[in-house]
Structure 1
């Protein structure tokens, strides 16, 4: 693995550096999840991951702030994208419909940010990762609830926005768990539609 710092200074140099950085992050995360699955999360150190990737420990921390974060990929970036998509939905669209449409569009990216089946199984079996996932999802829900209230023409109080966003998160979680139980063979989008239909409020 190369470190992918990027040295271009003209034209698309900045974009190239960012694409290279993302590619390295993805490769590093896939390597780490494989090592966690083989050796165990607690038994695998940052030094182990960095050595396997041909990086220094310092270089590892340039891509991820902690060992836990390597499992979650670009969760923060995905959360920001979802919030932006929520703000861009048509004025007057019911909040629940907005959440259903946006999360269905982003469902693939959400799962990719958790490294698919191996990553989800790892998270479910590792208390430290489950705790980090809950913390990240709390942050995501807060930003999405704020985006719901910021939509043009929105007339939502903070309580309702929080409640609807939490319900949407529960739908996403239930769909993910069912997909995991099915060994990754179920239709995730269909599961998400089913979950939203079951929870559908009259708002």
Structure 2
């Protein structure tokens, strides 16, 4: 069970992330400083750094734990399920969270520093996902390929969703893209 300290820390991180996003949307990412974010949240710059290492991390707070959470969900899936079906089922559940963040997606797509940081965070998450797949008996090669393909599928979904200005059913689009890639994982 999560303690009070952990819940408080999570709440403060969420508040900082929310303030950061508001300021990034209003002023632009490069024009917003850590001092601006900390001030908007009523804290000092030093306090900000207790919660995040960089201002980029304030935007990607949930992504830090995503890889671990996805890996746990993969481990909980039926053992007879193939790696592609397993990834599809788990990542499908994440679409609702991702779908709610059109502003973050637009900001990341338009800011090179954020795109770079996102790639780094995704690599960290992919490591957890690959480990969870290999723990299910999937070869390292197939686990790596499935995780990379799933990441590419979600990137494609995000770009198409942005082209449609967030009006496309993202879950249906995710299902469509995973179905397009599925034959590559049938042997």
Q: TM-score, normalised by structure 1?
A: 0.85
Moved over 3 A (4+): none
The more displaced of 61-70 and 174-183 is: 174-183
Distance 2:145 2:170 in 1: 23
Query: Which digits, 9 at most, give the CA deviation of each residue in 1:32-90, with x for residues without a partner?
Result: 11211221211111011111211001111111111110111211212111001111211
* Separation in 2, partners of 1:157, 1:82: 18
Q: Which residue of 1 aligns with 2:67?
A: 79
Aligned length: 185
Give the C-alpha shift of residue 141 in structure 1.
1.3
Distance 2:3 2:85 in 1: 34
Q: Which residue of 2 aligns with 1:22?
A: 10
Tell me: higher relative CO, structure 1 or 2? Use CA pairs within 8 A at least 6 residues apart: 2
SS of aligned partner of 1:27? helix
CA shift, 1:184, in A, is 1.8
Higher Cα radius of gyration: 1
Gaps of 5+ in 1: 1-11
For the residue of structure 1 that corresponds to 2:61, the secondary structure is coil
Q: How far apart, in 1, do the equivalents of 2:154 and 2:143 lie?
A: 17
Q: Determine the C-alpha separation between the residues in 1 that align with 2:168 and 2:6.
A: 33
Paired residue for 2:109, among 107, 119, 124? 124
Between structures 1 and 2, the one with greater helix share: 2
TM-score under structure 2 length normalisation: 0.92
Deviation (angstroms), 1:117 = 1.2
1:198 to 170, 180, 185: 180
Secondary structure of the 1:74 match is: helix
Match of 1:172 among 154, 159, 178: 154
Corresponding residue number in structure 2 for 1:186: 168
For structure 1, which segment, 181-190 or 159-168, has the greater mean C-alpha deviation from structure 2 after superposition? 181-190
Unmatched runs of 5 consecutive residues or more in structure 2: none
Task: Give per-residue Cα distances to partners, 1:129-156, cap 9 Å, x unaligned.
Answer: 00000111111112101110102xx2x3
